[in-house]
Structure 1
Amino acid sequence: MNNHVNLAWDFPLLSAFLVTVWIFLWVIWLVLLIRVIGDIFRDHDLSGGAKVGWLLFVIVLPFLGVFVYLTKRGTEMAKREELRSRRSQEEADAQVRAAAGTGGTSGADELTKLSDLKARGEITDSEFQQAKEKILH
């Protein structure tokens, strides 16, 4: 008679939980590995030889390589990611301003320009009213 007890198979819910935990840990590990390799390639401060060295270290000894990389360069990695994010946001804001056609000017600036054009007689009262409605809405 076999008295060996396998808790994971005797309790299917526990087995499902353990499988879920393992899958979760592997996904986290893969995301971390991809982020570290991406940071190695995107870092402009590293020379080509240093990039090859870090990449070989991370590929040959992945767990140790990633943990050493995060220990030595993790703070700089976070700063580079924040800088990339900030630049990306600034570019997106500039594109939105360009698409809106405002170029960063406010409605008050536009109204001032319109009133100057009207005062010089370059636009009529009806053109002024139409442009004013566009700006205000």
Structure 2
Amino acid sequence: MDDYPLLNLFWTMMWIFLWVLWFFLLFKIITDIFRSHDMGGWGKAGWLIFVILLPYLGVLVYLIVRGRSMSHRDAEQAQQADAAFKDYIRKAAGTPDGGGGAAGGGSGGGIDELAKLAALKEQGALTEEEFRLAKQKLLA
């Protein structure tokens, strides 16, 4: 370790960090080029060629010219992902309207309630008459 001083190790680590950061930024910009809906095919191709052939200049110019709209596209994508996740949770929970109960004739909600009532009756938590009254109330 005598031929490689500690300061050189720090410089090497810094250059590796900057190299990884550069590639992260380059991939982020390339994905933003393809994700952008306000550019046509020729615009995307031009930016992509510019970023690949002159990577340092291309990335810096792209950040200067389109950096603000890049953050808007990121926020829009995050909102769409959040909405899709919430929609998935609603569907998995069986509340397609986003509301609470399913007794009012939602898609399959009455069937679920009847199944719950039948399970309670089988467990002995409901008597035959309580089950019958609850079933009539649900079906009404």
**Is the structural similarity TM-score above 0.5?**
yes
Gaps of 5+ in 1: 1-8, 118-122, 129-137
Alignment partner for residue 65 of structure 2, among 43, 65, 72? 72
Alignment partner for residue 86 of structure 1, among 79, 82, 100? 79
Q: Which residue of 1 aligns with 2:117?
A: none
Over 3 Å counting, the alpha-carbon distance change for 1:57 and 1:125 in structure 2 is same
Identity %: 42
SS at match of 1:102: coil
Q: Which residue of 1 aligns with 2:26?
A: 33
Over 3 Å counting, the alpha-carbon distance change for 1:60 and 1:124 in structure 2 is farther
Cα deviation, 1:88-136, whole Å, max 9, x if unaligned, reads 1100111011101122222xx457888xx9xxxxx962374xxxxxxxx
Per the TM alignment, residue 52 of structure 1 is displaced from its structure 2 partner at its CA by 1.1
Matched ranges for 1:100-119 at <5 A: 100-103=93-96, 104-106=98-100, 109-110=101-102
Cα distance in 2 between the residues matched to 1:87 and 1:124: 48
Q: Which residue of 1 aligns with 2:92?
A: 99
Choose 42-51 or 75-84, whichever is displaced more: 42-51
Per the TM alignment, residue 49 of structure 1 is displaced from its structure 2 partner at its CA by 1.0
Return the structure number with greater helix share: 1
Cα distance in 2 between the residues matched to 1:12 and 1:41: 44
- State TM-score, norm by structure 2: 0.69
Cα deviation, 1:46-68, whole Å, max 9, x if unaligned, reads 11111111111111110000000
- State TM-score, norm by structure 1: 0.71
Choose 76-85 or 97-106, whichever is displaced more: 97-106
Q: How many residues align?
A: 111
Gaps of 5+ in 2: 114-127, 135-140
Cα root mean square deviation, aligned: 2.5
Alignment partner for residue 125 of structure 1, among 118, 126, 130? 130
Per the TM alignment, residue 14 of structure 1 is displaced from its structure 2 partner at its CA by 1.6
